[in-house]
Structure 1
């Protein structure tokens, strides 16, 4: 089981580092590269650099709120 946990941890770390590197390059370095350079084909338009994290944050807050509400309703039914 320890080997499987390490493999999952390694894969999650690799995915996190990849996303962080991609996003950092996209937001910090890409604006300084000429707009006709071939590297721009591999990235979404700059507007999505804000839209995607904000949408993910809103979805996360909604999920957390629904989860907390579900747990509160479930614990209320147990007491009654």
Structure 2
């Protein structure tokens, strides 16, 4: 099982590093590259650089609030 855990950890690290590198290049470096350069074909428009993380944060916050609410309701039912 230790080998499977290492493989999953490596995969998650690789995915996280890839997303971080893509986003960093997209937000920090790409604005300084000419807009007619071919590299712009590989990236979404700049508006999405803010929209995607904000939407992901809102969804994550909603899921966290729902989880906390369910736990509170469940613990209240056990006390009654």
Q: TM-score, normalised by structure 1?
A: 0.99
Q: How far has the Cα of 1:54 moved from its partner?
A: 0.3
1:64 matched to which residue of 2? Answer: 64
Q: CA RMSD in A?
A: 0.3
- Runs (4+) of structure 1 moved beyond 4 Å? none
Hey, what does 1:7 align to over in structure 2?
7
Q: Which runs of 5+ in 1 are unaligned?
A: none
Aligned residues: 80
Q: How far 1:49 sits from its partner (Å)? A: 0.2
Q: Which residue of 2 aligns with 1:16?
A: 16
